[in-house]
């Protein structure tokens, strides 16, 4: 009885309530993982170290060690190339998406005519990227239109990017920064189309900031620029971490590596090699997430 009382007293405290609600929200995911994902995850790990042969008698699993991993990293050149390209795209795109999303969220939080329409426009790519609209990207009509646009505007875009690069280099900017910014201009469609959810999360976070903080900063003579760096950015820093994790996972889910893994398993029926590719892909994601979370979490401000 005394143990139950101590247990109840613990959950009546503020820290205890945070632990309780945290466990409560994690429980559905944990149950789903244990009952639906744990067994396939362990099976795929077993397959990655095995040779899978299907016959009339059933599936024969033969342990072959690290042969599938060695083949994926040294023999299958498509996997290496696409994995490196995916990682490079994440390194380039994720910071741009986070910065762009926060900038647009701050603008959309201001009061102006047509604000609701503007918010809908920036969230529209998320709606269009689901369902039937997404399948249009693989149709011959859309490919033909994109090819015509590339042929007609490719030279103009190249000249525009070259001119922008030349102007920034003349202004004395660092060459690596210039190349990064000109690359961002070329990726603007990709950045905008993948920023809808992040903008929505940032916008919700900004709206929870107390207006009294901004009023007090105005009284003290702070400018809008100073209010952003001293109030807005620290208050939404936890959401920067959330959006960083979401954007990295979303970028990996859009990668052609997933299509290569599925094709290797279900088209070529090489489930051992496919499982090894999947685990290498999974480890790559986890390493990037761990490093990014470790670096960003140090700068996160949590208001108690």
| Domain region containing 92 | 76-297
For position 283, which CATH number holds?
1.10.3720.10
- pLDDT tens by residue, 156-201: 445 555 566 666 666 666 666 666 666 666 667 777 778 888 888 8
Neighbours of 51 (CB within 10 A): 16
Tell me if 228 is assigned to some domain: yes
Tell me if 40 is assigned to some domain: no
Tell me if 169 is assigned to some domain: yes
Q: Which helix (H) or strand (E) holds 237?
A: helix 233-253
DSSP string, 148-177: HHHHHHHHHHHHHHHHHHHHHHHTT--HHH
239-to-35, 100, 215 alpha-carbon distances in Å: 30, 14, 23
Tell me if 249 is assigned to some domain: yes
Q: Which helix (H) or strand (E) holds 110?
A: none
The number of domains in the chain is 1
- pLDDT tens by residue, 130-156: 554 555 544 444 444 445 444 444 444
Tell me if 11 is assigned to some domain: no
Q: Which helix (H) or strand (E) holds 15?
A: helix 14-32
Tell me if 5 is assigned to some domain: no
pTM reported for the whole predicted model: 0.73
Q: What is the pLDDT along the chain (304 residues), one digit of tens a residue?
A: 555 555 555 556 777 888 888 889 999 989 998 998 888 888 888 888 988 877 777 778 788 888 888 888 888 878 888 888 888 888 888 888 898 888 888 888 888 787 777 777 777 766 665 554 555 544 444 444 445 444 444 444 455 555 666 666 666 666 666 666 666 666 677 777 788 888 888 988 888 888 888 888 888 888 888 888 888 888 888 889 999 998 888 888 778 888 888 888 888 788 888 888 999 998 988 998 899 888 888 878 776 5
Tell me if 87 is assigned to some domain: yes
Contact of 72 with 230, CB cutoff 8 Å: no
Q: Which burial class, exposed, middle or buried, applies to 259 when counting CB atoms under 10 A from its CB (0-12, 13-18, 19+)?
A: exposed
Tell me if 49 is assigned to some domain: no
């Amino acid at each position: 009885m005394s143990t139950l009382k101590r247990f109840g007293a613990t959950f009546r405290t503020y820290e205890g309530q945070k632990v309780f609600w945290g466990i409560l929200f994690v429980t559905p995911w944990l149950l789903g993982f244990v009952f639906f994902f744990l067994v396939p995850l362990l099976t795929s790990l077993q397959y990655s170290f095995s040779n899978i042969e299907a016959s009339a008698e059933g599936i024969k699993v033969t342990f072959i060690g690290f042969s599938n991993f060695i083949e994926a990293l040294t023999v299958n050149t498509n996997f290496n190339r696409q994995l490196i390209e995916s990682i490079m795209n994440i390194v380039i795109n994720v910071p741009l998406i986070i910065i762009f999303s926060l900038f647009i969220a701050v603008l959309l939080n201001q009061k102006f005519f047509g604000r609701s329409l503007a918010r809908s426009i920036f969230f529209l790519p998320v709606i269009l990227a689901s369902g039937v609209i997404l399948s249009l990207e693989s149709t011959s009509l859309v490919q033909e239109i994109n090819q015509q646009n590339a042929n007609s505007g490719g030279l103009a875009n190249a000249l525009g990017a070259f001119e922008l690069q030349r102007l920034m280099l003349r202004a004395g900017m660092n060459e690596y920064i210039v190349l990064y910014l000109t690359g961002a201009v070329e990726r603007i469609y990709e950045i905008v189309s993948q920023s809808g959810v992040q903008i929505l999360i940032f916008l919700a976070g900004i709206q929870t900031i107390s207006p009294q903080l901004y009023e007090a900063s105005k009284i003290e003579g702070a400018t809008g620029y100073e209010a952003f760096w001293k109030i807005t950015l620290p208050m939404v820093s936890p959401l920067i971490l959330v959006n960083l994790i979401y954007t990295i996972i979303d970028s990996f889910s859009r990668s052609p590596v997933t299509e290569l893994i599925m094709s290797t398993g279900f088209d070529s029926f090489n489930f051992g090699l496919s499982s090894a590719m999947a685990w290498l892909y999974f480890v790559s994601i986890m390493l990037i997430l761990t490093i990014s979370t470790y670096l960003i979490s140090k700068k996160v401000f949590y208001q108690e």
